[in-house]
Chain A
Amino acid sequence: MTFLLRRAAFYLVTAWAAITINFVLPRMLPGDPVQTMITRFQGRLSADAIASLHVLFGLDAGESLPTQYWKYWENLFRGDLGLSFTFFPTTVTDVVAQSLPWTLSLMGVTTVISFVLGTLIGVYAGWRRGSWLDGLLPVTTFFSAIPYFWLGLIAIAVFAVNLRAFPAAGGYAPGVVPGFTAEFVGSALYHAVLPGVTIVVSSVAGWVLGMRNMMVTVSSEDYVVAAHAKGLPERRVMLRYAARNAVLPSVSGFALSLGFIVGGTLLVEMVFSYPGIGFVLFQAVNAKDYPLMQGIFLIITLAVLVANLLADVVYLLLDPRTRKVS
């Protein structure tokens, strides 16, 4: 348990750091950014929006920095992340709440598929070294070097524009009303195929490669040789002795890859105009919608931290050495 407590404490510190970065960044800007914004939006900003901008940039009524920091935390705890310009007058919290489920489900499912698939391929490639699977490694390397979003563009060009097999954009067909109906779920799944496949194809190579190399390394460990010496069936040696140990670094590396996967997913959503966080971030960036950008950064970071904690729990279950002596 101390392992998990330590990790949790670390994630709290990280969350605090991210939140504080969010507070500090706008305050480091030179000049009067609010005035610039007001000019840019040419009077389309309401008094409320201007007020929230002032709070965001820390220019309201010359309050001291500690007071501002305190207020910032108060607002956070009330779930108040300010108003979005792009979706005015919707609050950032509402915009995020609407788009987050899309991203979480798209990313959750594709990440699990990619991890399981890549790990299985890696197990075989590492166990049967010199087989045809090894010949595929340069190809997978090439695929992993392609940016997610470019692969998405190609997928749209081929499967949406030319073959017309899948929709090019959106999360569900325009006429469908969101809700737990067969029609909506079917439509949502259909729209998720291209972005999902794109993410899996570009991310699977990383897992394959990592797992293959770990399998190769683990295969010459003493306990694997001993398992062979015991005359165990090959599958048993491969899975229970080699793969079971080789997967541990993959699981602990999962956390570190997560940031990368998140980045890729955001980009894919932008390309496919998928109604998730990534597409909203894209719109926010284009409109210089600072409150929304910041809110999204916070939410993404917190989500990643939670995912990390889950990965730690899985690791704890997989590696008896992290559990305390009973």
Chain B
Amino acid sequence: MTVLEIRDLSVDYGQGDDAVHAVSSVDLTLERGEVLGLAGESGSGKSTLAHAMTRLLPPPGVITSGEVLYHGRRSSSDGPVDVLGLTPKELRAFRWSEVSVVFQGAMNSLNPVSTVEQQLGDVFRAHRRDMTAARRTERSRELLDLVGISADRLSAYPHQLSGGTRQRVMIAMALALEPEIVVMDEPTTALDVVVQRQILEKMMRLREQLGFAVVFITHDISLLVEFSDRIAIVYAGRVVEQAPAREIYRAAAHPYSRGLLNSFPALHGERRPLTGIPGSPPDLRHVPSGCPFHPRCPSAFDPCDQDTPALVPLGEHRSAACWLHTTSPRRRSGVGAT
């Protein structure tokens, strides 16, 4: 059962010749209850994609094409909702109750001049009009308890909490309305490794209890492989490969995915050499013609700098956008798989 379907989504920062094409024609689906990981170098457009889904891009971000279709339980009677077509009022009602977000800067996502209780209360006041003050407090306590924070922290201001605690508060807040989808954009990058793991494990247990789907973004691919069901690899604002986490880890199809996997130490046991990827991501104002990765690709051959490969299925659960796996219109005889 699909809960979110992204079709042909494109995002620019700015307009005209100087526009940064941060996301280009992305198609993605999120199944109910699954963890979809997004991986890619810094600057590849992961955050932009996550923000565009809920229309939270900072100015001068503009969505230039596409659809974001939400198949919620609540809206199932009259088909999916296109988030990009919602009025401001509808969008506000949609946010947080259907999709909540734990931001990259989650440490700074709490208003420094309000207490935790006020900020949790804001969510209920906006979405659950009929809730009494006493019930709001009770629910806030439950939420803090859920993420393992003692209830007396309700009256604390953000500066009185440690980074990890702030992060948990944001997670508690993200679960306040029991949304269908929680987007987590590098939720733990600023934390130390132990706390990072604790928080992610907690989050995954909660997911099993509550059954929401997660879009999990990180540039740490080992965390991603460990916690995701499925992974989409993003390069220069495009999805270049999509596959179940285990399969990507075992045998990535796209040369960029392989490079990315090689950039990080292995999960357990033996260490792979950190080969990484030579060169740097392209300037998104002027993306190279053909496959955007070809200037850095060790396996590039003739069609790569001419034609952009489309994301095509490679078997039942996988797809990749690479001429190594597709037949180029110019070259009938393919090289075959890796």
User: What size tier do the contact residues of chain B reach?
Assistant: 20 to 34
B108 to chain A, nearest CB (A): 4
One of A141-149, A173-181, A240-248 at the interface: A240-248
Contact A240 to B103, CB < 8 A, known contacts A229-B54, A232-B126: no
Asked if A318 CB lies within 8 Å of chain B CBs, one says yes
B281 to chain A, nearest CB (A): 23
Q: Determine which of A222, A229, A231, A320 lies in contact with B108 in the assembled complex, contact meaning CB atoms within 8 Å.
A: A222
One of B92-100, B221-229, B269-277, B315-323 at the interface: B92-100
Contact A232 to B92, CB < 8 A, known contacts A240-B111, A325-B160: yes
Contact A321 to B122, CB < 8 A, known contacts A222-B108, A223-B108, A231-B96: no
A219 to chain B, nearest CB (A): 8
Contact A232 to B112, CB < 8 A, known contacts A225-B56, A225-B103: no
Q: Which of B157-173 contact A (CB under 8 A)?
A: 157, 159-160, 170, 173
Q: Contact between B92 and A226 (Cβ–Cβ < 8 Å)?
A: no
Complex-state Cα separation, A244 to B122, whole angstroms: 15
Who on chain A is nearest to B97 by CB? A231
Who on chain A is nearest to B155 by CB? A326
Asked if A227 CB lies within 8 Å of chain B CBs, one says yes
Q: A210-245 interface mask toward B, CB cutoff 8 Å, 1 = contact, 0 = none?
A: 000000000011110111111111101000110011
Q: Contact between A320 and B157 (Cβ–Cβ < 8 Å)?
A: yes
Asked if B204 CB lies within 8 Å of chain A CBs, one says no
| A229, A241, A320 interface centre (most CB from chain B within 10 Å) | A229
Asked if B58 CB lies within 8 Å of chain A CBs, one says yes
Q: Determine which of B97, B112, B157 lies in contact with A245 in the assembled complex, contact meaning CB atoms within 8 Å.
A: B112
Complex-state Cα separation, A325 to B127, whole angstroms: 32
Q: Contact between A230 and B123 (Cβ–Cβ < 8 Å)?
A: yes
Complex-state Cα separation, A223 to B101, whole angstroms: 12
B114 neighbours in A (Cβ, 8 Å): 240
Q: Contact between B56 and A229 (Cβ–Cβ < 8 Å)?
A: yes
Q: Contact between B101 and A226 (Cβ–Cβ < 8 Å)?
A: yes
Q: B126-163 interface mask toward A, CB cutoff 8 Å, 1 = contact, 0 = none?
A: 11000000000000000000000000000001011000
Q: Contact between B112 and A223 (Cβ–Cβ < 8 Å)?
A: yes
Q: Contact between A231 and B103 (Cβ–Cβ < 8 Å)?
A: no
Contact A222 to B103, CB < 8 A, known contacts A245-B113, A320-B157: yes
Count A-side interface residues using an 8 Å CB cutoff.
Answer: 26
Q: Determine which of B59, B108, B122 lies in contact with A230 in the assembled complex, contact meaning CB atoms within 8 Å.
A: B122
Q: Which of B300-335 contact A (CB under 8 A)?
A: none
Asked if A60 CB lies within 8 Å of chain B CBs, one says no
B113 neighbours in A (Cβ, 8 Å): 244-245, 248, 318-320
Asked if B105 CB lies within 8 Å of chain A CBs, one says yes
Contact A226 to B103, CB < 8 A, known contacts A231-B95, A240-B114, A321-B159: yes
Q: Contact between B111 and A230 (Cβ–Cβ < 8 Å)?
A: no
B122 neighbours in A (Cβ, 8 Å): 227, 230, 232, 236, 240
B88 neighbours in A (Cβ, 8 Å): 234
A325 neighbours in B (Cβ, 8 Å): 160
B42 neighbours in A (Cβ, 8 Å): none
A320 neighbours in B (Cβ, 8 Å): 112-113, 157, 159
B70 to chain A, nearest CB (A): 14
Asked if B109 CB lies within 8 Å of chain A CBs, one says yes
Apart from the given pairs A220-B58, A228-B56, 15 other A-B contacts in the complex at a CB distance below 8 Å? A220-B59, A221-B108, A222-B106, A222-B108, A223-B108, A223-B109, A227-B122, A228-B95, A229-B96, A231-B92, A231-B126, A236-B122, A245-B112, A318-B113, A319-B112
Closest 9 CB pairs of A and B: A231-B95, A222-B105, A226-B109, A222-B108, A231-B92, A320-B157, A231-B96, A223-B111, A229-B101
**13 A-B pairs in the complex with CB atoms less than 8 angstroms apart:** A223-B111, A225-B103, A227-B111, A227-B122, A228-B56, A229-B101, A229-B103, A230-B122, A231-B97, A232-B122, A241-B111, A319-B113, A325-B160
Q: Which residues does B use to contact A, with CB under 8 Å? A: 54, 56, 58-59, 88, 91-97, 100-101, 103, 105-106, 108-114, 122-123, 126-127, 157, 159-160, 170, 173
Q: Which residues does A use to contact B, with CB under 8 Å? A: 129, 220-223, 225-234, 236, 240-241, 244-245, 248, 318-321, 325
